Amino acid sequence: MNSYENYFKHEPDHNGNFGPYGGSYVSPELNKIMEEIRDAYETISKSQKFVSELRAIRKHFQGRPTPVYHAQRLSERLGNCQIYLKREDLNHTGAHKLNHCMGEALLAKYMGKKKIIAETGAGQHGVALATAAAYFNLECDIYMGEVDIEKQAPNVSRMKLLGARVVPVSAGLKTLKEAVDACFAAYLEDPVNQIYCIGSVVGPHPFPQMVRDFQHVIGVEAREQFFEMVGEDPDVVTACVGGGSNAIGIFSGFLDSCSELHGVEPLGRGEQIGDNAASLTYGSEGIMHGFNSIMLKDKDGGPAPVYSVASGLDYPSTGPEHAFLRDTGRAKYFTIDDEHALEAFYVLSRLEGIIPALESSHAVAHAMRLARENTGKRPLSILVNLSGRGDKDMDYIISHFGFGEKYLEKFNSLG
């Protein structure tokens, strides 16, 4: 355990490597721009002024600390467990993403940038970044595939209300990948006035480190809150893993504890390539979007098509630090399919009065499975990072799966 004392000093190293993973694999042109961000991050973000300004924003604008909640009814119904939820769904805008967007935008402000830009798929990152831009009075361009613009109309409206410009991308399949390409291209055109704000612990150095550091607040709060409530650390800390930012946020507060750390990847419809987005479970080492990690590949070695009912989780790779924590054995990774995520969605809504995001439902479902499988004498204590609220998913879920009677009946029959 003591080996984790200096963890944050050494991981990543100064080139952004977590063991063999991470780094920066970009063109010399882009690397020069990354250099600027690295330098700014190293100096500015460590200054007392930056730290206290971000702390005040977290408290007065975001509504932090978010509570830890004991899900007593759910725990009783499952038996032999005590489940707790870190309520990131109560963070302003309804998810953990604002934690790093406010940090990135504050850095942009200190660096004298006029505009923050990003891509978005389902629109969650776009909304969080547009919120940060409004707060700091920065311009904001969000690149989005035309197909996604059509599918995610409410989030497009939110971004526009917040003052962001939504830039339609019409190349290729007109979804996330093309939006990433368009955003990088726009960034290269004007790196002086703009800055790219990545949406998870992915991309070239320093983004995986920077986004982790901005999400670390989840783990720090949760460790203290849980200890205050229970008098010890949880047996298991669990979170869903798309790019991996909410998971690394909570894990990073417990690295030097005895708690097991469980990341949960989406199994979607099954194990076949194209039916899931469980990159750490089925992927192999490779470079994508400027960093080295474990990724799902198609037969030509490029990023594979991915699927999950939770669009925030369908990314064909995972942050390099997760690949590293998996190899070292400090964290373990599991999968949950669509059906079990949906069961958790309906059960948590009904039993606890909390409608979770479909992404977060994967972590809840894993906790439910651990509870059902716990044959030990002692109830298992599980802390779930509830990364976001489910309002965004309601229309889709109700039109496809109704009000969940099938899932609730199954849950009731299992006791």
Ligand X SMILES: *Cc1c(COP(=O)(O)O)cnc(C)c1O
Q: Which residues are catalytic?
A: 97, 119, 387
Q: How far is the CB of 384 from ligand X (least distance, A)?
A: 12
> Interface residues with ligand X (CB under 6 A)?
95, 97, 124, 200, 240-246, 312-313, 357, 359-360, 387-388
Q: How far is the CB of 200 from ligand X (least distance, A)?
A: 3
304 or 380, CB closer to ligand X?
304
67 or 191, CB closer to ligand X?
67
Query: What gap in Å lies between CA 21 and CA 6, rounded to an integer?
Result: 19
Q: How far is the CB of 60 from ligand X (least distance, A)?
A: 23
3-state secondary structure of 285: strand
Instruction: Indicate the residue whose CB is closest to ligand X.
Output: 388
36 or 391, CB closer to ligand X?
391
* DSSP summary character for residue 356: B
Q: Would you state the torsion angle of the CA atoms of residues 271, 276, 277, 283, taken in this order, to the nearest 10 degrees?
A: 20
241 or 325, CB closer to ligand X?
241
Q: How far is the CB of 180 from ligand X (least distance, A)?
A: 15
Q: Would you state the torsion angle of the CA atoms of residues 22, 28, 30, 34, taken in this order, to the nearest 10 degrees?
A: 60
Residue by residue, DSSP assigns 1-59 as: -GGGTTHHHHSS-TT-EETTEE-----HHHHHHHHHHHHHHHHHTTSHHHHHHHHHHII
Tally of residues, the chain = 415
Query: What gap in Å lies between CA 389 and CA 397, rounded to an integer?
Result: 14
255 or 355, CB closer to ligand X?
355
386-to-85, 239, 240, 362, 401 alpha-carbon distances in Å: 6, 7, 9, 10, 22
Query: What gap in Å lies between CA 363 and CA 371, rounded to an integer?
Result: 12
Q: How far is the CB of 217 from ligand X (least distance, A)?
A: 14
